[in-house]
Chain A
């Protein structure tokens, strides 16, 4: 954390307009990633991971909007950039890949063309050069016979191949940061491992930073240097991967670990969490986790806990942290 962060998200709040007024999907999140490092963001479905990543790209769909906060990227606040400059950041300095490789590519254009389009949007090169760059990009993501593949349409490729194409597209302009929103969730386990290996190898080659969003703790454990755990639009625990994994302090984080099925150790199941993430239009008072929290007491139903240090570079938002004292 000594190095100046590449991406520094400060107190960002993204709201959706609904019949019940504006509700926060992301509520005061602060995170940062250093160059060349990987930040893992974990949390259950609906906790605001995708909305957060789209907020960084300023691609929050209507009726959503970023209500406040800053997204400092290389020291510049992306939220304050004119749209034209923001466009050159998207796909230029920041690449992004999505969960759904089946639908994230346009079915009516050849995959090579779709990569070329990204290249031409950012670099002053000829069509022929763009084609060369696209082939090179496909080769980099280990797609065999890229000269032929560029002509193919997405429906001719498997899910894993399509996700490789997405990665090739996101990396075609050599971004400093890659945001990967559940890049492997839709893929089967073998392919998933291949894609993660690929991302790691590409990170080593290019020195890019990665924000890896997932609800799979195994993936975070394997990839991340830093981990942030999100719950109901907020970061509830954050710290170096070793600290969060080895010394989780927030009951929700502990619950997530507990919900990894462990056949060998029955006791871990005790902490598995019941229920689901409350939707942004129906948040409980006090700690947002209190209806599901095994440690909740009266205070938790009134006070929203702030993030507070629980170890070196390690923070958690729990009124009763450190919890191992209670859990033990």
Chain B
């Protein structure tokens, strides 16, 4: 088990390096010049040239990249071109709210999706099954921002039930909970359908397996047959499939944060890119990629926890 985790961690290293490289190159090909942005609209070419030297932008690209890596290793992510705040500091302040939002979204959507999918599979062909599947298909085809805007319009604006901009405070306070409700509903909402559908397929598959027949033959109650022998085994493919949706989750988080003005990494990334804040954008990309890698790792570990055959190999 430990070996499995270590091996996974090691494979994450080259991935991370690739991410840094791509993030670096990507911002090189953006047509905006960070020195010009920083100098402001009134600056003379001399001033811009000076800033360029100052930022090391006159050096060859490979050198810029190496310097960049070196600074990264020291925890120095640079300073925002727009407001001179250290990137690391901004990231530190936004990671918490982003994690909070993701957790608040997944903590209800995964269990609900599993429940709906399992019940639908058990009563396949029933009205309930068809309703869940219709809902799931809708969930896949409705974009996150649309769900968010509908919730803002009705729940937030028309009925004034819940706030819809910003974070209301720590999650354990009433204000905090009220403020996170709509963003978490939005981001989680788009996952319920896909998870329900994956679960339904996986559970249907397992329900006809021989070991489920054995479970019935030993006189287990149906509830236990379904929980311990169908859903428990179906979790293995479901976790794999959820793992494949990580990009979707991160993308959804970026959109959700932006429309709800949630002070997280996603909103920071969008702001930085829109304002050509070169170091800040790079920093957010690193954090989001790191998030991607970490979630992948968690999925991998979970996979090994769920499947003893994986653990052994």
Contacts and interface: CB of A to CB of B under 8 A. Distances in A.
Contacts of A156: 312
Contact of B217 (A59, A100, A109, A155): A59
B218 A155 contact: no
A61 B218 contact: no
Is the contact region of chain B dominated by helix, strand, or loop, or is it mixed?
helix
Contacts of A170: 217-218
Contact of B219 (A61, A104, A109, A122): A122
Interface stretch (A14-22, A86-94, A135-143, A314-322): A86-94
B236 interface: yes
B216 interface: yes
B54 interface: no
B210 interface: yes
Contacts of A95: 217
A96 interface: yes
Contacts of A41: none
A167 to B, nearest CB: 12
A7 interface: no
Given A59-B213, A61-B208, A100-B210, A107 B219 contact: no
A62 to B, nearest CB: 9
A107 B216 contact: no
Contacts of A96: 217
Contacts of B236: 108
Contacts of A153: 308-309, 312
**Residue among B228, B232, B312 facing the most chain A CB atoms (10 A cut-off):** B228
Given A87-B219, A121-B219, A98 B306 contact: no
B102 interface: no
A118 interface: yes
A155 B220 contact: no
B213 A105 contact: no
A103 interface: yes
A11 interface: no
Contacts of B217: 57, 59, 90-91, 95-96, 98, 170
A117 B218 contact: yes
B28 interface: no
B218 A106 contact: no
B231 to A, nearest CB: 11
Interface in B213-271: 213-221, 224, 228-229, 232-233, 236
Nearest to A115: B218
B308 A108 contact: yes
A103 B233 contact: no
B208 A106 contact: no
B210 A155 contact: no
B209 interface: yes
Nearest to B311: A153
A95 B213 CA distance: 12
A108 B210 contact: no
B100 interface: no
A90 B215 CA distance: 10
A166 B214 contact: yes
Contacts of A220: none
A122 B41 CA distance: 82
A88 B218 CA distance: 9
A155 B224 CA distance: 22
Contacts of B228: 106, 109, 117
Nearest to A172: B218
B130 interface: no
A288 B121 CA distance: 38
A105 B214 contact: yes
A169 interface: yes
Contacts of A121: 218-221, 224
Interface of B: 208-211, 213-221, 224, 228-229, 232-233, 236, 306-309, 312
Given A91-B218, A107-B307, 14 more contacts: A59-B213, A88-B219, A90-B218, A91-B217, A91-B220, A92-B219, A95-B217, A104-B211, A105-B211, A107-B211, A108-B306, A117-B218, A155-B308, A156-B312
17 contacts: A90-B217, A91-B219, A98-B214, A103-B211, A104-B214, A105-B211, A106-B228, A106-B232, A107-B211, A107-B308, A108-B308, A118-B219, A121-B218, A153-B308, A153-B309, A155-B308, A169-B218
The 9 closest A-B pairs by CB, nearest first: A91-B218, A91-B219, A118-B218, A90-B219, A103-B210, A106-B211, A153-B308, A96-B217, A104-B210
